[in-house]
Structure formats: structure tokens, C-alpha cells
Amino acid sequence: MTADGSLQLLLVDDQAEVRAGLGMLIEAEPGLAVVGEAGDGATGIALARALRPDVVVMDIRMPGTDGIAATATLSADPEPPAIVILTTFGEDENVYRALRAGARGFVLKQSAGPLLVAAIRAAANGDALLSPEITLPLMETFAAQDRADRPADPITPLSPREEEVLRALAHGATNVEIGEQLFISLSTVKTHVNVLLAKLAARNRVELAIWAHRTGRAT
């Protein structure tokens, strides 16, 4: 964060006009500040490691190292930034691969604006936000690919409170909203989410939500 507490953002997109438009959108929002720009994935990786932004807004299709490869590389760092994918292309496989690589959000450029700002804030808070147009197809893709190798039940049973957190998460609640619904602190919510990730061998909140829907825990 900057000295005034603003979230620091790095923009990675191969089109200068897109970066300019994103910069104007983001700088107009209180608490957000653009600290760097890159036109390809390799430069984005280098700048992210040098500038240590809170959130990276990453395009997918770029020359050389693409956005998914750059996301995977940065996500493997000891203290990775939160990464939000912003792209024109919403194919299921792109979404699946981006989230597998460690992205915390996926927003289509045609539906950006307030949704992108919300995705940035959610990612910085450890939550995930996806464009509504891709949420259902994504869930179907994850369910189809995971069904064969994901057990119906975790090896270690979930506690009643973990079940409650999982159910709220599966219905799209953020950590803050879960805390308000269950009357528990934000830090306690984050602890439960981390335990759920470990017990279910899930990589992110989206996988937790899909598992909950597929096994009936979301109802």
C-alpha cells in the first residue's frame, strides 16, 4: 500500500490505449493507485517483483509470456500479489487455467468499470470475484474436470462452523459478509477459509464453491 493506505496496482496489457483507459478508471477511485504498467507478461513479472503492488490487473493474450503463464510465475513467489485477469476472451478453458494459475478474479473487458474495481478490492481482501457472464460455465467446467478425481467427502470431516462458512462462501458471500452473517471476526473467517482450502485440497475460493454445490453443501 502507499503511504496514505491506497492499494497499489500494476497494469499488464499489450495495448497502450487499454492501459491508459484502465489507469483513468482506477485513479478516479478512492484508495486505488496505479504504480506501474507493462506491455507483456515478462515485463509484468519483473515490475511486479520490483514494485511489489498489492494487485496486478493482467491481460491474457500478450506477446511472449502470456497472462496465464505470468500469473502462475508470480503466484509461486513467496509473497505474491493478488492477480485479477481482465480479458476480452471468456472461454471456459481460459478461465479455468487462469484460476488454476492463481488468479483471484476474472473480468471481461466489455463488463469492466465498477465490476473491475470491485474485483480489485475483493482480490486485495483475499476474496474472488468473476464476471457474471462466466460464473455458471466456469462452475460446469470445474465440476466436469474435477468430478473424476475429487472425493465426495474430505479426509478430515468439516466442523459445523466450517460447513456454515462453506455454505455462505458458495453463495457468493465475501469474508466480510460471512463474518457479519455468522457473527464472527474477519480473522476467524479467514482462518476457516484456509482450513477449508487445506481439507478439500482446493486452490481457491471458486473451487470451494464448486465443491459445495456439487456435493450438496451449498443448500
**Tens-binned pLDDT, residue by residue, of the chain (219 aa):** 666 778 999 999 999 999 999 999 999 999 999 999 999 999 999 999 999 999 999 999 999 999 999 999 999 999 999 999 998 876 667 887 888 898 988 888 887 788 899 999 989 988 888 776 766 566 555 555 555 555 557 778 999 999 999 999 888 788 888 999 999 999 999 999 999 999 988 878 878 887 887 788 877
Beta strands 7-12 and 55-58 are: parallel
DSSP character string of 6-26: PEEEEEE-S-HHHHHHHHHHH
pLDDT at 82 (0 to 100): 95
Prediction pTM value? 0.74
How far is it, in rounded angstroms, from Cα 212 to Cα 219?
Answer: 9
> Is-contact 131 103, C-beta < 8 A?
no
The cell 471481461 sits on which residue?
Answer: 108
Max CA-CA distance within the chain? 51
User: 157 near 204, Cβ under 8 Å?
Assistant: no
pLDDT at residue 94, rounded to an integer: 81
Domains and CATH numbers, the chain: 7-141 (3.40.50.2300), 150-213 (1.10.10.10)
